[in-house]
Amino acid sequence: MSLDRDWDSIRPERGFRAADAGMGILRITLLFGSAAVALALIATPFLDSQTRSLSVRDDLGGLDMTATGSLRHRETYTLRRSVLQPQRSSVCIIRSNGRSSGDC
């Protein structure tokens, strides 16, 4: 019987423990989670620069670059832009007194 006890001291019992499996799953989850976060941190600036270069190349086709400003409180006007105008940048300005200017 002493041989059995000696063998157990050299090679402990190899039973399956749920705690060991839980730690393995936790390690795998942390590995893939950290890889996903690292990829997101690297890919975001790269993809942002790619989309900006595409929009510059397309001559800002989908963006309306109209800027706003401040006016006196009593002066109001209406800006009209139409896809039917001969040029893309054509703007018609109609003042509150009915006077119009621009490409009307």
Q: What is the pLDDT of residues 41-76, one digit of tens each?
A: 999 888 887 766 655 555 555 566 677 766 566 678
Buried b (16+ CB within 10 A) or exposed e, 41-71: eeeeeeeeeeeeeeeeeeeeeeeeeeeeeee
pLDDT at 35: 96
Assess whether pLDDT exceeds 70 at residue 19: no
Mean pLDDT of the chain: 76
Assess whether pLDDT exceeds 60 at residue 1: no
Ordered by start, the domain boundaries in the chain are: 14-59, 75-104
Q: What is the pLDDT of residues 85-100, one digit of tens each?
A: 778 788 888 888 888 8
Task: Kindly state the percentage of the chain with pLDDT values over 70.
Answer: 60
